[in-house]
A and B are shown apart, each in its own frame.
Chain A
Amino acid sequence: MNAAAPAVKPKLLVATTSLAGCFGCHMSLLDIDERLLDLIDLVAFDRSPITDIKHCSPHCDVGIIEGGVCNAENVHVLHEFRKNCKILIAIGACAINGGLPAQRNSLDIGDILAAVYALPGRGVQVPNDPEIPLLLNAVHPLHEVVKIDYFLPGCPPSGDAIWKFLTDLLAGRTPSLGHGLIHYD
């Protein structure tokens, strides 16, 4: 067995990304304002729009994902996060139930693209470049694709909600929001 645990907790490695989301949840993360400085004492950011690191390190502690899963690339990124993060958090309405992008689910994606890419007199030309990730038949919340450990609802969750959630988590407590912080809108 190892010797006693180090007296000072090492910084937790946090990765974040936005899939089919609007980055609003990331904006809200920045809304914790000066508490960011406290946060930086506790965590280091790995793959994230904040750092511009493109892929997760193999041993991330926490993955925070906003947005639902709407295309093939989203699935690959989500798999990368699940593979490399010990704890995965779905943040925001889209990650949790599909949100705004999922409003397309009542329509057939073929019909939607046919309407969008119809050019006057030139028929329908849906882009088919292999570089472009294919859309899924429907938009799905994260927990339908991989196991998600925690959910932080809101559209977006407020900075206060995010702060409470993260401080609970970083202190080793099961996060609990309570009245006023838990919101679906």
Chain B
Amino acid sequence: MPPVHSDAAETRQSDVIATVLARYRHDPVYLMQILREVQEELDWLSPSTLTAIAAGTRLPRARVEGVAGFYHFFHQRPLGRYRVLWSDNIIEQMAGSGDLMGRMCKKLWLKPGEVSPDQLVSVDTTSCTGMSDQGPAILVNALPVTHMTSERVDQVVALIRQKTPVSEWPADFFKVDDNIRRRDLLLGNQMAPGDALRAMTDPQSVLDAIKASGLRGRGGAGFSTGQKWDFCRNAVGSGENPQHYVVCNADEGEPGTFKDRVLLSSFADLVFEGMTVAAYVVGARKGFVYLRGEYRYLLGPLNAVLEKRRQSQLLGKSIQGRMGFDFDIEIHLGAGAYICGEETALLESLEGKRGVPRKRPPFPVTEGFLGQPTAVNNVETLAAAALIAAKGADWYKAVGTVKSAGTKLLSVSGDCQWPGIYEYPYGVTVAQVLADCGARNTQACQIAGASGLCVAPDEFGRRLAFEDIPTGGSFMVFDNSRDMFAVAHNFAHFFANESCGFCTPCRVGTSLLCNALDKIRDGHGGEYDINDIWRIIRTLRTASHCGLGQTAGNCVADSLQKFRPSFELRLNSRDFEPAFDLDQALSRMRDVTGRDDPGAHFHLDHRKSKQGIGTKLGDPA
């Protein structure tokens, strides 16, 4: 909607802001939710809206603006009534998202990132939206539309042109499948809501069981869950109102992972039950689910599950009649920031701030949400904890390996016949997963996402377990037709887009890395640039503040080592190439002067960039 300066619009603006502020009791901790809900009503966050929200929450205006400016999904300029975001994951790019987005833009007479002159629509890209098993996918006003094809692009364009409200679009556009391909302990469980809670005798025994089970964090880092809960339980809260908190990290942002989407779609009770078990152990009365903004569509269904649990006495006061066991859960939505998957950045965000990772120590178990002891656990970890509370440590530990008890959900996507969720006992080989998902002629697997490990065929015998390859669950498959340079290039851009910008090495390094890879992609790279790339990667690894920066160079380092020809074939010379395109640098003056004589060009023997190398040439016969 164009910014209208009528009294009616102003009244509506202040009404909306007042209502939302009242709903959150003007509490600055809820700034993220306030901004989101106001934006959902007003389409964008105008300067005067931010001023009003600052006044209403008694926060400095610059802090409110700083938060609004941090998250991808908050916008401080009107982006139209329809805001289309294409998931920019490499897997979806391989499935043709680039061409489809081009088609959409062309039909809407738009360039990516621009708003149509009538303020109707904008089209842009965003980081992986967790739909790579059914992509290419888009978000339209925060709702996912999956399985994009050229027909579907045309349909969406028509609906936008006709100004059909998104709520009236065909329901099958928004269908998100679970695609569960292999079930084990977790996905095959037959538990009813409350089973785990009924099995609990006292907090210490539950903690002992969790410890004995060997359960480790499923986000990828693999810290012992029992130990984390023990630390949190023993930590003393501070201030006038000491509290303990449980936080479920559902900010599933690693490219190519979507297992938490499935757990929250179809196993929400189990996840909430796990949170309740955690609360029982650490002594928390309040829990939060930090749900990534890309999963906004799950908010309604999840709140419905929570309400049902309250009615069944599985949440609220005196849970299941146990005196003093009070616990409730709130869902807090993120707004598009991969970094918030890092637990301390998540806590900052939960407190209504910019999602910047904290210094550690102190760790969240002693000083977490609002400085109080907080147990932050992954969605899958909490679901597994509920299973263990119900069925015992021995039952769980019987599956998996010595150091990696139980099972792991893998989000498999890319070049395979059956992308989706696979639950395996820990210790499964890469080759086994590839065989089961119907992958053929596999060139590489990217395991644990963009920050993870790129595995070449001679390593397919390696095992997915904390002993060998730890993973949060992302498993992306690339067959022989794929260009591993394009993969590294995509990931490098992902990190530059998602760096919070707090520390120098990550803020500048991720962006320099992109520039270097862009230069190579454009056919202007040389050995000099490869050396620079290594230098940037070393700096990122050594000096970055958090895991994002420390691992941001991994994908490029792996592909430089394991798939070096995909870089070399693009290098223009073995030595030095200018940092920019010389001939292109005269373009403005050619426009202005109308000159096209030989002096208006550089005739350098630039080899053309190697188009065609490794690009998909149709399916192998």
Contacts and interface: CB of A to CB of B under 8 A. Distances in A.
B589 A75 contact: no
Interface stretch (A12-20, A132-140, A163-171): A132-140
A35 B593 CA distance: 47
A113 interface: yes
Interface stretch (B15-23, B390-398, B571-579): B571-579
Contacts of B569: none
B588 interface: yes
Contact of A134 (B528, B575, B579, B595): B595
Interface stretch (A54-62, A142-150, A172-180): A142-150
Interface in B473-528: 528
Contacts, number: 59
Interface string A62-74: 0000000000100
Contacts of A30: none
A140 B528 CA distance: 18
A138 B600 CA distance: 15
Interface in B577-621: 578-580, 582, 584-595, 597, 599-600, 602
A108 B595 contact: no
A72 B579 CA distance: 16
Given A130-B597, A140-B579, A147-B575, A75 B602 contact: yes
A71 to B, nearest CB: 9
Nearest to B584: A137
B580 A140 contact: yes
Interface string A112-152: 01100000000000111010011111101000111100000
B578 A137 contact: no
Contacts of B592: 109-110, 113-114, 126
B575 A136 contact: no
Contact of B602 (A72, A109, A113, A144): A72
B578 A109 contact: no
Interface string B370-413: 00000000000000000000000000000000000000000000
Contacts of B579: 140, 144-145
Contacts of B585: 136-138, 140
A113 B595 CA distance: 15
* Tier of interface size on chain A: 20 to 34
Given A72-B599, A130-B597, A134-B595, A145 B582 contact: yes
Nearest to B589: A134
A147 B600 contact: no
B588 A128 contact: no
A113 B589 CA distance: 9
Contacts of A134: 586, 589-590, 593, 595, 599-600
Contacts of B597: 130
Contact of A127 (B586, B587, B593): B593
B190 to A, nearest CB: 65
Contact of A145 (B578, B587, B591, B600): B578
Contact of A137 (B576, B588, B599, B600): B588
Contacts of A114: 592
A126 B591 CA distance: 11
Contact of B588 (A75, A109, A133, A140): A109
B578 A144 contact: yes
B210 to A, nearest CB: 57
A147 B576 CA distance: 6
A137 B589 CA distance: 7
A82 B608 CA distance: 23
B586 A130 contact: no
Which of A72, A134, A146 counts the most B-chain CB atoms under 10 A from its CB?
A: A134
A147 B531 CA distance: 13
B586 A136 contact: yes
Contact of B582 (A75, A110, A130): A75
A30 B494 CA distance: 51
Contact of B528 (A126, A133, A147): A147
Name which of B587, B589, B599 has the most chain A CB atoms within 10 A of its CB. B589
Which of B579, B592, B600 has the largest number of chain A CB atoms within 10 A?
B592
B586 A110 contact: no
Q: Which of B582, B588, B595, B602 has the most CB of A within 10 A?
A: B588
Contacts of B593: 126-128, 134
Given A128-B595, A130-B595, A147-B575, A135 B589 contact: yes
Contacts of B602: 72, 75
A59 B587 CA distance: 34
Contacts of B587: 137
A127 B588 CA distance: 14
A110 B592 CA distance: 6
A136 B588 CA distance: 8
Interface in A15-57: none
A114 to B, nearest CB: 8
Contacts of A109: 588-589, 592
Contacts of B580: 140, 144
Contacts of A113: 592
Nearest to A131: B599
Contacts of B599: 72, 130, 133-134
Nearest to B579: A144
A114 B591 CA distance: 12
Interface string B81-121: 00000000000000000000000000000000000000000
Nearest to B576: A147
Q: Which 6 A-B pairs have the closest CB atoms?
A: A128-B593, A144-B579, A134-B589, A147-B576, A136-B585, A130-B597
26 contacts: A72-B599, A72-B602, A75-B582, A75-B602, A108-B588, A110-B588, A110-B591, A113-B592, A126-B592, A130-B595, A130-B597, A134-B586, A134-B593, A134-B595, A134-B600, A136-B585, A136-B589, A137-B584, A137-B589, A140-B579, A144-B578, A144-B580, A145-B579, A146-B576, A147-B528, A147-B575
Given A108-B588, A146-B578, 11 more contacts: A72-B586, A75-B602, A109-B592, A110-B588, A130-B600, A134-B589, A134-B590, A136-B586, A137-B584, A145-B578, A145-B582
Interface of A: 72, 75, 108-110, 113-114, 126-128, 130, 133-138, 140, 144-147
